[in-house]
Each structure stands twice: as C-alpha cells, then as structure tokens.
C-alpha cells in the first residue's frame, strides 16, 4: 500500500525539526488556530478565517518534516469535512504541499492543488504533474510543477485558468488556501519572481468565489517580505486599500532602503519557457476535465468535532492539573515545579531520590518509544483499512474515520512531544552525577533543591 503513495523519501525530520523550549505550546497554538478557524467557518460565524501562524504543510501523521511539526491544514480540513462534502486545498508556497496531498490522496472529498517549484534536489522532491491521486482520489490531486524565476504574469496565466476549471468541475463547498511566502522574489530559499501583488492576486482570485475560506501562512524566509506579503493579503481579504508607503512603526528600520509595501530582492532568471508552460497547462486542464462533476456524499450524520474534542480535553487537562497539584500538596515537596510533572502513579512510591529520577527518565524514554511505535502501527492499520474500504464511502464513515485519524495524530504527536520535553527537562543520569559530585551532600540533595538548581542554571 505504501508504494502507492508518491512521497517515499529520505528522513529529513531530525535535521529540519529540532526540539526547542515550548515546542508543544507552539504546536498547540498554530494548529489550534487553524482548527478553530475551520470550526468558525462550519458554524457560519465567519466567511473567511485567517491563521498566518498555520500552513505547515509538510508535517506527517507520525513525524515532523520540513520545519513542520503538526499538520494544522490536515486537521482543519478534517474539521471542515464534518459539514462540507468537498473541500478544495490550494497551495502557493514554493514547496509542494506533499503531506496534505498524501493525507487525502485516496479520496475525492478533498482536492489538492499545488503550484510549486519542482527540480532535482529541491525539497520535498515530489509534486510531479503525474501525481494525480489514487483509487477514489484519482484526478483529485493536481500538481503544477514550475521552474525557477516564474513571474507574476506567467504564474497567473497558470493559476487562474486552473483554479477556474477546478471551481467549475469540482464545485468545492469550502476552500483552504495556503499562502507560503517563499514563492516571492527575494526569498532566501525560493527562486520565484513573484511580487507581493502577484501573490495577493491569487488570494483575491480565490476569494472572489465567495466560498467559506480558511487562509493560512506557510513558508517564507525573508521576514520583511513575509510581513509585507501577509499584511497586504489581510487587506485584500478585508477589501481594504493600504498606502504604498509604510507607516512609521517600531520595526520601520527593518524595511530599508525603500520603506514601501513591495518585496525587495534579486530577480532569478526565468527558466519557464512559453512552450513548457503551455504544455503543462494543457495537461493539467485535461486531467481536471476528466474528473466526475462535483462528487457527492451522503451526509447521514455529523461526526464529532475535533474542536469540541480539544476543548473537552482542555477541561480534562485542567481537572488533571488540579488533581496533580492536590496530590503533590499531600505527598511531595515538589510545588516549585512550574509545569506539572508526569502524572503520578498512585501505586508507586515517590521518594524523590536521584535514582528514582533516573529510572523515571528512562521509563519515559521507553514509554515514548513504545507509544510512538504503537501509534505508528495503529496509523498504518488505519490507513490500510481506509484504503481497503472502497465500498463503504458514506460520509459518516469517512468523516468518523477522519476524526479517529485526527485523534490518533493528536495522540501520537502530543504524547511523545510532551514526554520528550519532560525527559529534556529532567537531566540525564550522567548530568545528575556530575552536578551532585560537586556537593558534599550529593546523595541526599532533596529533589526540590535539585530541580531548583537546574532551573537556576538556565535550563528553563
């Protein structure tokens, strides 16, 4: 089954996705923003939701990839699928939206359209025009592989007719638009020549269809151009004109030398010939026109909301925290911890010794691996079951499976990350010995002092 996915590739996750303090909080914030945006669209509380912190389109169900830890886009689309029979995903980041495409590669309920650079050794190495989806999802993945240096005119000559065709043939009921700003001229990774106006024209064009739309950020490695781009696109979505001269602000000096609402940077040579673009456009439009008009699904039941589930879990977390604090008040001297320690096991003795800490760290490590592996197995089983369930395409089943998948993703990503932070926070046995050897009462240092010492050393 795995071989049917196009994106088997080397493991970039460790180099691209390092751990850092508050990583879990960061993931919660940006993924929660996209999920809540989708929820508000479902509730008709807004017609456009923006989350510039989101758009991390490379993250996979059980691994980070390409600076992306949790795929907020997939989670948001799963939320939209509770009410929307067809969701269109459009990606104008310079990199292929590989993980979003893979998540929905076998279904016609989500159409993924990605405009990106496609060249040897360019991350993630996928997104050829021949990746069109599989099984029920055949022709519901659309890839527009471009070369260095494409400018506004040529980009829009591809973007507008393709999106027009998709709107006509697929008739989505909701849209998710990923606005990665690394497709701008002057980006440190990308080599396209888009201006912020050309980039924003894509946003304007999509919003002209007046569909419920979730707009998310994505890549962008020239920060002053990213802020110009997404400021301008916020204004486009609000139908507001901004002055070309930037107003005075505390970051004004960063926008030298021109202080204008336009991106700066070197132009790359345009390697997209007219012939290449014409034949690409012809092939992509031909693929789109072969798909069935507006596939329908039977909306028999509304599956549970991922957003509601998260809110419930937050309530439970609060209850757990209260219970934890009460437990610690009764049993341990550990109230100085700024964050709840691992949930205590009521059957285990908690003596606070260094040896116990070491074994706790090791246990956490073991648990992390065990959890990850078991989730990987569960994920693969889910994916296999989903791929095999050709005859069972009722909306409730598909969406319930999606919700289940989201839950697995939450668990598989949240639990190990949280535990890794604890493992990191608690020094290794070696560090423990080194630190305590310097003191005369090393073996009897109370746990409170030890942790306090760690925090004083700047590990927080």
- Please identify every residue annotated as catalytic: 58
Using rule CB under 5 A, residue 91 touches Zn ion: no
Per-residue mark of binding to Zn ion, 146-185 (x: CB under 5 A): ----------------------------------x-x---
Residue nearest to Zn ion (CB): 219
Q: Which of 40, 58, 61, 95 binds Zn ion (CB under 5 A)?
A: 95
By beta-carbon proximity to Zn ion, the closer residue of 184 and 395 is 184
Q: Are 141 and 133 in contact, with CB atoms under 8 Å apart? A: yes
By beta-carbon proximity to Zn ion, the closer residue of 64 and 219 is 219
Q: Which of 63, 93, 187, 233 binds Zn ion (CB under 5 A)?
A: 93
The single-letter DSSP state of residue 17 is S
Task: Tell me the closest approach of the beta carbon of residue 304 to Zn ion, in angstroms.
Answer: 33
Task: Tell me the closest approach of the beta carbon of residue 171 to Zn ion, in angstroms.
Answer: 29
Task: Tell me the closest approach of the beta carbon of residue 67 to Zn ion, in angstroms.
Answer: 8
Residues in the chain: 460
Tokens 């065709």 correspond to 165
Span 201-230, contacts to Zn ion by CB under 5 A: 219
Q: Which of 161, 84, 69 is nearest to 115 (CA)?
A: 161
Using rule CB under 5 A, residue 58 touches Zn ion: no
Peptide bond into 379 cis (omega under 30): no
Question: Applying CB under 5 A, which part among 86-94, 191-199, 292-300, 303-311 lies near Zn ion?
Answer: 86-94
DSSP codes, 325-358: HHHHHHH-S-TT-SS--SPP-TTS-----HHHHH
Token representation of residue 315: 């309530």
Q: Which of 351, 317, 322 is nearest to 334 (CA)?
A: 351
By beta-carbon proximity to Zn ion, the closer residue of 203 and 398 is 203
Beta pairing class for 110-117 and 213-216: unpaired
By beta-carbon proximity to Zn ion, the closer residue of 32 and 219 is 219
Neighbouring residues of 263: CB distance < 8 A, sequence distance ≥ 6: 184, 185, 186, 195, 196, 222, 225, 228, 229
By beta-carbon proximity to Zn ion, the closer residue of 181 and 383 is 181
Applying CB under 5 A, which residues contact Zn ion? 93, 95, 180, 182, 219
């Amino acid at each position: 089954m795995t071989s049917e996915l196009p994106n088997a590739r080397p493991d970039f996750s460790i180099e691209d996705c390092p751990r850092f303090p508050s990583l879990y909080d960061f993931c919660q914030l940006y993924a929660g923003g996209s999920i809540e945006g989708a929820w508000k669209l479902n509730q008709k509380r807004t017609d456009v939701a923006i989350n510039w912190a989101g758009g991390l389109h490379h993250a996979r169900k059980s691994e980070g990839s390409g600076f992306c830890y949790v795929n907020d886009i997939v989670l948001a689309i799963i939320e939209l699928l509770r009410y929307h029979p067809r969701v269109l995903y459009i990606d104008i980041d310079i990199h292929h939206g590989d993980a979003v495409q893979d998540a929905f590669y076998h279904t016609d309920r989500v159409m993924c359209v990605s405009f990106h650079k496609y060249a040897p050794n360019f991350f993630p190495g996928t997104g050829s025009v021949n990746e069109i989806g599989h099984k029920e999802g055949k022709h519901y993945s659309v890839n527009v592989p471009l070369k260095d240096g494409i400018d506004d005119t040529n980009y829009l000559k591809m973007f507008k007719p393709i999106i027009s065709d998709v709107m006509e043939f697929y008739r989505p009921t909701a849209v998710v638009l990923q606005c990665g700003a690394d497709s701008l001229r002057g980006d440190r990774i990308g080599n396209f020549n888009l201006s912020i106006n050309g980039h924003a024209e894509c946003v304007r064009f999509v919003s002209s269809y007046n569909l419920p739309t979730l707009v998310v950020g994505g890549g962008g490695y020239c920060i002053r151009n990213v802020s110009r781009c997404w400021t301008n696109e916020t204004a486009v979505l609000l139908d507001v004109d901004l002055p070309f001269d930037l107003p005075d602000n505390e970051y004004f000096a960063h926008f030298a030398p021109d202080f204008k609402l336009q991106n700066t940077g070197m132009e790359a040579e345009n390697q997209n010939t007219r012939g290449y673009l014409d034949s690409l456009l012809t092939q992509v439009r031909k693929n789109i026109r072969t798909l069935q008009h507006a596939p329908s699904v039977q909306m028999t039941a509304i599956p549970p909301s991922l957003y509601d589930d998260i809110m419930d879990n937050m309530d439970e977390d609060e209850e757990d925290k209260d219970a934890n604090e009460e437990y610690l008040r009764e049993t341990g001297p550990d109230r100085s911890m700024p964050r709840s320690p691992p949930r205590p096991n009521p059957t285990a003795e908690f003596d606070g010794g260094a040896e116990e800490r070491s074994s706790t760290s090791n246990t956490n490590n073991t648990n992390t691996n065990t959890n990850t592996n078991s989730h990987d197995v569960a994920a693969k089983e889910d994916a296999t079951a989903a791929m095999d369930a050709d005859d069972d395409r009722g909306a409730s089943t598909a969406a319930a499976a999606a919700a289940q998948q989201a839950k697995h993703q939450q668990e598989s990503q949240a639990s190990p990350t949280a535990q890794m932070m604890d493992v990191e926070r608690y020094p290794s046995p070696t560090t423990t010995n080194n630190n305590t050897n310097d003191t005369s009462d090393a073996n009897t240092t109370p746990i409170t002092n030890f942790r306090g010492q760690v925090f004083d050393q700047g590990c927080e």
